[in-house]
Amino acid sequence: MNYFSSDFKLGILGGGQLGKMLLNDTRKFDIYTCVLDASNEAPCKIASNEFHLGDLMDYDAVYNFGKQVDVLTIEIENVNVDALETLEKEGIKVYPSSKTLRTIQNKAKQKLFYVDHDLPTADFLRFAYLSEIEDTINNGGLKFPFVWKAAQFGYDGNGVKVVRQLSDLDHLPKGECIAETLVPFKNELAVIVVRNASGEIKTFPVVEMEFHPEANQVEYVICPARIDDKVAQKAIDIALKTSKAFNHVGLLAVEMFQTADDKILINEVAPRPHNSGHQSIEASYTSQFEQHIRAILDLPLGRTDSKVGGVMVNLVGAEGHTGNVIYENIEHIMNMDGVTPHIYGKKQTRPFRKMGHVTIVNEDLNEARRIAEAVKKSIKVISE
């Protein structure tokens, strides 16, 4: 099939920053790309060949959009899976598949999938309603502390809470959820697996993620992870086993905990480009975004190793600021060695909203991490 400078159409469900970064590569290859998003202000609007307005959870919107393209992919999991299933039956190629998405969209189903496929994950209980948790605690079936997770529609730390006492359950959504054993871990790691439709498979190096203590968002991604080679290999093996279990095509980001005794447990997965791979744009031979496109079009995969050590800093809206965005001190960080800012194109900031990221590359990973700290202290995402 000729994808380049041709009549072929690639469709992306979701018009956020991940889509925008995918579009850098579709433009590089001159692949005609259509995007569906519910917001007229979506970051993808300026870079796609066709921009369609529509609700990603609406069956008709997704189905009618999908009928106009040859291959359909996502940059966000919350899409109408029934429409994708119909499109697959009618011959449209959909990656990730509706089957994969149906499992991943629901955290309870996702956890059961790990158990069924003998993939290591923290112990958990599944509840249809929040109220059932209190009954289970009173009956001695669940002990504090534990991690509450909404079964659906959680993102960036939303829909996750550490519960240490009964009052922590107040004001949480009332619907389906899981309660997970709180894992005493020493590292949060991630491995991105890329697999094309022919079955060629590669992994990016293991990264470590440092989290913001309050927002439960990634503050720094460090590549490669500063861990023992044996632990890194264990993480890669588990990520590959996970990808195989899903029979996944495209990118699969596998987030994991490294426990105190060096066990690896899967936290969750994302079947799309992921925050833990943003540094690959500057630091890798082939970025995660280019790899996703290569994989879903069944093209040969590129090199996944790093050219240089990389650290990624998320740019999120400062607390107390809502409104038209200003990136304070951006010139100052651009004056630092190896620093590249990426601005996502969201005109409005609010506290903890992801507005961009900064990549720091350096032959010395510790130096990159030091510069990353300086970047974090300097640049502020504020409002007018």
DSSP state of 80: -
Domain count, the chain: 3
Instruction: Output helix, strand, coil percentages for the chain, rounded to the nearest 5.
Output: 30, 30, 40
> Is 87 in the same domain as 24?
yes
Tell me whether residue 269 is in a domain. yes
Q: Shortest CA distance to 55 belongs to which of 37, 78, 34? A: 37
Question: What local confidence, expressed as pLDDT, does residue 153 receive?
Answer: 79
> Is 160 in the same domain as 263?
no
Contacts by residues 302-307 (CB-CB < 8 Å, ≥ 24 positions apart): 304/194, 304/202, 304/203, 304/204, 304/205, 305/205, 306/205, 306/223, 306/224, 306/280, 307/283
Flag whether pLDDT at 6 surpasses 80.
Answer: yes
Residue 171 burial by CB count (10 A; 0-12/13-18/19+): exposed, middle or buried? exposed
- Tell me, letter by letter, the H, E, C secondary structure of 219-268: EEEEECCCCCHHHHHHHHHHHHHHHHHHCCCEEEEEEEEEECCCCEEEEE
Examine the fold and report which residue of 136, 159, 181 is the final residue of a domain before the chain moves on.
181
> Is 344 in the same domain as 206?
yes
Identify residue 302 by its one-letter amino acid code. Answer: G
The predicted-structure confidence for 102-153, as pLDDT tens digits, reads as follows 999 999 999 999 999 999 999 999 999 999 999 999 999 999 999 999 999 7
Question: What local confidence, expressed as pLDDT, does residue 158 receive?
Answer: 78
Q: Are 273 and 5 in contact (CB under 8 A)?
A: no
What CATH number is given to the structural domain containing 63?
Answer: 3.40.50.20
Phi, psi dihedrals of residue 96, rounded to the nearest 5°: -65, 160
Flag whether pLDDT at 215 surpasses 70.
Answer: no
Phi, psi dihedrals of residue 186, rounded to the nearest 5°: -105, -15
* Token representation of residue 381: 């995402």
> Is 25 in the same domain as 87?
yes
The predicted-structure confidence for 143-153, as pLDDT tens digits, reads as follows 999 999 999 97
**Cα separations in angstroms, 199 against 72, 127, 234, 247, 301:** 19, 37, 21, 9, 10
Annotated binding residues for ATP: 107, 149, 180-183, 188, 267-268
Annotated binding residues: 107, 149, 180-183, 188, 267-268
> Is 78 in the same domain as 193?
no
Question: What local confidence, expressed as pLDDT, does residue 344 receive?
Answer: 97
Tell me whether residue 359 is in a domain. yes
Mean pLDDT across 341-366: 96
Mean pLDDT across 374-382: 97
The residues, any chain, with a CB within 8 Å of residue 237's CB and separated by 6 or more, are none
DSSP state of 168: G
The predicted-structure confidence for 274-311, as pLDDT tens digits, reads as follows 999 999 999 999 999 999 999 999 999 999 999 999 99
Tell me whether residue 101 is in a domain. no
Classified as helix, coil or strand, 337 is coil
Flag whether pLDDT at 212 surpasses 80.
Answer: no
Flag whether pLDDT at 322 surpasses 70.
Answer: yes
> Is 142 in the same domain as 232?
no
Q: Tell me the percentage of the chain whose pLDDT exceeds 90.
A: 94
Segments of 171-231 assigned E as strands = 177-181, 185-195, 201-203, 207-211, 218-223
What CATH number is given to the structural domain containing 151?
Answer: 3.30.1490.20
> Is 256 in the same domain as 270?
yes
How far from chain centre, in Å, is Cα 367? 26
Identify residue 26 by its one-letter amino acid code. Answer: T
> Is 158 in the same domain as 193?
no
- The per-residue pLDDT of the chain, averaged, comes to 96
Tell me the residue range of the domain where 212 lies. Answer: 185-383
Question: What local confidence, expressed as pLDDT, does residue 61 receive?
Answer: 98
Question: What local confidence, expressed as pLDDT, does residue 154 receive?
Answer: 76
Mean pLDDT across 49-63: 98
Tell me whether residue 20 is in a domain. yes
Flag whether pLDDT at 172 surpasses 70.
Answer: yes
Q: Shortest CA distance to 123 belongs to which of 101, 141, 140? A: 141
Identify residue 211 by its one-letter amino acid code. Answer: F
> Is 285 in the same domain as 303?
yes
Flag whether pLDDT at 156 surpasses 70.
Answer: no
What CATH number is given to the structural domain containing 291?
Answer: 3.30.470.20
> Is 209 in the same domain as 340?
yes
Mean pLDDT across 191-200: 97
Tell me whether residue 301 is in a domain. yes
Flag whether pLDDT at 17 surpasses 90.
Answer: yes
> Is 168 in the same domain as 227?
no
Beta bridge partners of 161: 148
Examine the fold and report which residue of 166, 181, 196 is the final residue of a domain before the chain moves on.
181
> Is 200 in the same domain as 322?
yes
Tell me whether residue 1 is in a domain. no
Tell me whether residue 116 is in a domain. no
Tell me whether residue 235 is in a domain. yes
Examine the fold and report which residue of 163, 181, 199 is the final residue of a domain before the chain moves on.
181
